[in-house]
Amino acid sequence: MDINIFIERRKSLKISQVKLCKGICTQSTLSKFENNGRVPSLSILSKLCARLGLSVDDLYRNALASTTHMRNVLNRIESELMMQRYSDVGNSLDEIKVGEIKSDSQEMQYFYEKGLYNALTNGKTEDTFYYFAQILDNLDENHRTIYSYLAYVGLGIVYSRTDQKNKPTFILLKYLII
């Protein structure tokens, strides 16, 4: 939710907090929303937004746009990986700031793509392990998503490229075979 959309609309209409919340909620409730991000009930928020000529959905506009954009970027990177366009992959991955990723699923996709790119381009082994560990140890500790399995496959690629042929078999037996 982008509270700034709400605040900017209120200020552009030159409506004080007291005037906006009259008959809907207390000024304290509105202040906590605008200053601390404490979201009031949907009923109250809907009424406040309506008074400003907004809908509650309007407050999510930027978040949805950024999530959709990130999904498109990550999917494009995945296609570039499949087409072995590694220079494009590297450039695209470098443009992404992890802190801007809004969902765990997209963050796992990012770390998987970063790790796979590193593994396939003979990047630093410790960096590749770090990227896959973000999935296995932080984002999907219970190993319930496809990204855990993909991270294990990525680790197998690293081991096979570093002439540690017995370790991919160990990973497959331990984690992938049910």
* Tokens (6 digits) for 27: 């000024």
Domain boundaries, given as residue ranges, for the chain: 3-54, 62-176
User: For the structural domain made of 3-54, what CATH number should be given?
Assistant: 1.10.260.40
In the prediction, which pLDDT does 109 show?
96
Burial class (CB in 10 A: 0-12, 13-18, 19+), 171: middle
pLDDT under 70: residue ranges of the chain: 62-66, 164-178
* Tokens (6 digits) for 34: 């605008």
Cα distance from N-terminal residue to C-terminal residue, the chain: 41
In the prediction, which pLDDT does 166 show?
62
* Residue-wise pLDDT tens digits, 113-153: 999 999 999 999 999 999 999 999 999 988 889 999 899 88
Cβ neighbours for 100, distance < 8 A, ≥ 6 positions apart: 66, 70
